Amino acid sequence: MAQTESVCPELSTETALDRCVAIRTQLQRANLFGETPAWRVSPCPLYLSADQVKFFADLGPHLLSFYRVLNRLYQESVKGIQPKWVAGYLDQGKPDALIQYSRMKRFRDVLPAVIRPDIIPTQDGMMITELDSVPGGIGLTACLSHLYHDVDNGRAQLVGGRDGMVRGFAAMLQSTQEQRSGTIAILVSEEAKDYRPEMSWLAAQLRQAGVAAWCVEPREIRFTEEGLRLHTDHGEEPIGLVYRFYELFDLLNIPKAELVQYAVKKGWVGVTPPYKPALEEKSAFALLHHPMLRPFWDKALGAESLHQLSAIMPKTWLLDPAPLPAIATIPDLSVGGRAVAQWTALEEATQKERHFVIKPSGFSELAWGSRGVSIGHDLSQSEWSQALRTALASFPTTPYILQQFHKGRLFDMDFMDDASRTIVRMSGRARLSPYYFVSGGTVELAGILATVCPSDKKILHGMKDAILVPCALRPT
């Protein structure tokens, strides 16, 4: 895949500064993350080649197929058609009540309607580090798409266009709501409160587009014998759909969470993403690469999707502390050319040999926002050993995964230094987050958020030293 060139083409320093000032001013007015955006502003989007844009457009259907087949694998495992240990792993650490709720017949075929992978461009191509069906950044990417389109007078060919994020999100909500009447409630939990301003901005955009949606705290909804209701600018209205902006591990801390579940169970309201914790586990990558499941994936996914996904989803292993028989080895795991039979053997791996990441698989407050992540070659021997032991000891309640580390490649990006009001060039690594929305059974790429971090940062996330921009097709 061609290397990304991110420097603004043929843009004078004066024009670049003017753009950055205009973008920052509009971000402050939008108030998505407080009065001062906590990241660096670039005068241009991150440019992608035509081949790269096509890669992202083609990826959506493959990811939707992956969710569909993963859902089938889990259900067939529950029934004993597929190995029982598959469902056992995906259910590990979950409350029994939530597991039983997720298995209800009415939810059997329901899949996440928002798909956002985190993708690292490497020298060898793109690598997906994880999938998120409850992602932040939807409102942010939508707002940035508006700003970068307008500041360039529409010349930049943004992926998804100026309004792709709002339009795609609206279509997804309306499709998910189906025939249920009522307003749409975007419920943002206290734990996710930092994202409430961007979702409030997005809800306002939806209302301007004719979609009745409101961003509220869970305590603001009211339960009645007919369903859920919400007080809006037009008075009290019934809720037809709940957009769940909270993690399932946090249910006990969310006001009226049981009432929402009851209303959904009765069919009074719809909810997306669905209450299916098995579909929110990073260990799904380990299942894709497991040799015993290869015949299932090959038949259910098809050769093309399996080839594509196997190439871009890094090899992953679930850190199960159960001992292996003396003659067994862990599939496809080797260190220094030696097969690994016990996890403890990894403790002695040298710094060059441990290009691995350890992170919680899913159902935990440590499993999002780059928390709980340990990068093997960035740790001392004792720190690496302790991270591995902690992960193994956490298996009963919080399973961890071991994943191959793929280093992002370097490229240049310009940003405005706020103190000196000068344009500075930064060498960095990028995390690309495409947003796919599912409506009517089809999946649409609505936009891509690029998070470009300084080259010395090992974990790529939205930090104050990062540049956050939408992606666009490079001008020819």
What confidence tens digit (pLDDT) does each residue in 240-270 have? Answer: 999 999 999 999 999 999 999 999 999 999 9
Q: What is the mean pLDDT of the chain?
A: 92
Beta strand 222-224 pairing with 213-216: unpaired
Q: Which of 15-24, 26-35, 137-146, 330-339 has the lowest mean pLDDT?
A: 26-35
Mean pLDDT of 159-181: 95
Q: At residue 1, does pLDDT exceed 70?
A: no
Query: Has this prediction a pTM greater than 0.75?
Result: yes
The HSE-up count of residue 158 (CA atoms within 13 Å, CB side) is: 30
Mean pLDDT of 375-403: 93
Residues of the chain with pLDDT > 90, as a percent, come to: 77
The residues that bridge with 215 in the sheet, in sequence order, are 186
Q: At residue 294, does pLDDT exceed 80?
A: yes
* Residue 455 burial (CB count, 10 A): 12
Q: At residue 35, does pLDDT exceed 60?
A: no
Phi, psi of 359 (to 5 degrees): -155, 155
- 361 vs 209: CA distance, rounded Å: 37
Q: At residue 314, does pLDDT exceed 90?
A: yes
Q: At residue 368, does pLDDT exceed 80?
A: no
In order of 287, 330, 469, the CA distances from 169 in angstroms are: 30, 41, 19
Residue 178 has a pLDDT of 85
Q: At residue 101, does pLDDT exceed 90?
A: yes
Residue 382 has a pLDDT of 93
Strands, E assignment, 133-210: 157-158, 183-188
Helix (H, G, I), strand (E, B) or coil at 22: helix
Residues of the chain with pLDDT > 70, as a percent, come to: 96
Q: At residue 372, does pLDDT exceed 90?
A: no
Place of tokens 């399973």: 399
pLDDT band, residue 4 (cuts 50/70/90): very low
pLDDT band, residue 6 (cuts 50/70/90): low
Residue 3 has a pLDDT of 46
Q: At residue 48, does pLDDT exceed 90?
A: yes
Chain segment 415-433, per-residue pLDDT in tens: 999 888 899 999 999 999 9
- 360 vs 224: CA distance, rounded Å: 38
Residue 459 has a pLDDT of 73
